[in-house]
Amino acid sequence: MINRLRELLEREPFVILDGGLATELERDGSTLDDPLWSAKMLLEQPERVLAVHRRFVAAGADLITTASYQATIPGLLARGLDQAQARDLLRHSVALARSAASSNTLVAASIGSYGAYLADGSEYRGDYGIDRKALFAFHSPRVRVLSAAKPDLLAFETIPSALEAAAIADVLSANDGPRAWVSFSLRQGPGLAVSDGSPLPEAVAPLLGHPRIAAIGVNCVGPAEVLPAIDALVTLTANSPGISILAYPNSGERWIEQAWAGPQTELKVFTELARRWVDAGARMIGGCCRTGPDHIRALTQLRSRQIIPT
């Protein structure tokens, strides 16, 4: 398989990801209060998903992620789809993103954590109460279906647990398909730990040197929390030259008790922080919840000023 990500990284100082697909759908008036979250729109109004993809491409994103973050086979079966329909919807998420992409735009198939399937906020806690074997069994069918749809990458997002990261490494070893990134959610407070409390080095360890891992990073964190994580990841991946560092934080607001709270990071500040992430070694940068096309345009303008990593 042609490594289009590697080709892009060789051309550009950093790759620009998209922003928060689900929260952009909400800005458009979509109601996502549903266990399927943005995947609800794949079922009901896929044209809205397509429109958001196109906005991010027009803003300058080099890579867009599919609306499959919370589209799991068990979740779709619970909605009333049969196995064939569930698999078709997963494949359609990739086809929809591909139809919005330009010839130079990469598509990453989004794969949320087990906690995202539970839809109870546990992607920010990692307190699942199941073992590595069960996590392997959960992720494997969706990985196989999405891989067969031929995205450029798989994107394991908002992973809160060292155990789940190890299970993802197992899944990638057991199945063929494109390379993948794994992006962690972080615990607030002192120290650098993923959301289940595991130290970041412990969570990252099973991924280092894995032939299918293209990038490791953080997402769905505050912009101010990114730089320490990048510094740590640069050190942890120093002997794994094929792994890039990525970061795509929230807008600065936090999801607290079923609502967004706190101030949004000003766009100018977000862009200045992004420059620091690049300087520190991040090679893939975008936005997560509550970031939109304006953030992606700002990153495009940042890159046009020829900011080169040091």
Using one digit for the tens of pLDDT, what is the confidence trace for 212-223? 999 999 999 999
Instruction: State the Cα–Cα distance between residues 107 and 229, nearest whole angstrom.
Output: 25
User: What mean pLDDT is predicted for residues 14-20?
Assistant: 97
253-304 pLDDT, tens digit per residue, is: 876 656 677 788 999 999 999 999 999 999 999 999 999 999 999 999 999 9
Instruction: State the Cα–Cα distance between residues 186 and 226, nearest whole angstrom.
Output: 10
- So what's the pLDDT on residue 310? 42
Q: Are 100 and 93 in contact (CB under 8 A)?
A: no
Burial of 71 (0-12, 13-18, 19+ CB in 10 A): buried
- So what's the pLDDT on residue 253? 80
In the chain, what percentage of residues exceed pLDDT 90? 83
Instruction: State the Cα–Cα distance between residues 27 and 290, nearest whole angstrom.
Output: 9
Instruction: State the Cα–Cα distance between residues 273 and 226, nearest whole angstrom.
Output: 9
Instruction: State the Cα–Cα distance between residues 188 and 225, nearest whole angstrom.
Output: 9
Q: Are 194 and 200 in contact (CB under 8 A)?
A: yes
With cut-offs at 50, 70 and 90, classify the pLDDT of residue 38: confident
Tokens for 58, please give them. Answer: 């027009």
Q: Assess if residue 239 is contained within a domain.
A: yes
Q: Assess if residue 206 is contained within a domain.
A: yes
- What is the pTM for the complete model shown? 0.95
Q: Assess if residue 240 is contained within a domain.
A: yes
Side-chain-facing half-sphere of 173: CA atoms under 13 Å: 12
Q: Assess if residue 242 is contained within a domain.
A: yes
Question: Any binding-site annotation on 139?
Answer: no
Q: Assess if residue 208 is contained within a domain.
A: yes
Considering all CA atoms of the chain, what is the largest pairwise distance in Å, rounded to the nearest integer? 52
145-202 pLDDT, tens digit per residue, is: 999 999 999 999 999 999 999 999 999 999 999 999 999 999 987 889 999 999 999 9
**Total of domains in the chain:** 1
Q: Assess if residue 310 is contained within a domain.
A: no
Instruction: State the Cα–Cα distance between residues 280 and 283, nearest whole angstrom.
Output: 9
- So what's the pLDDT on residue 255? 67
Structural domain of residue 164, as residue ranges? 4-304
Q: Is the model's pLDDT at 30 over the cut of 90?
A: no
Q: Are 163 and 207 in contact (CB under 8 A)?
A: no
Question: Any binding-site annotation on 146?
Answer: no
Q: Mean pLDDT of all residues in the chain?
A: 93
Q: Is the model's pLDDT at 307 over the cut of 60?
A: no
Top-ranked range on mean pLDDT: pick from 36-45, 123-132, 182-191, 199-208: 199-208
Question: Any binding-site annotation on 289?
Answer: yes
Q: Assess if residue 137 is contained within a domain.
A: yes
Q: Is the model's pLDDT at 139 over the cut of 90?
A: yes
Pairing of strands 254-256, 259-261: antiparallel
Q: Assess if residue 279 is contained within a domain.
A: yes
> What is the residue whose two structure tokens read 């064939």?
84
In CATH, what number is assigned to the domain containing residue 209? 3.20.20.330
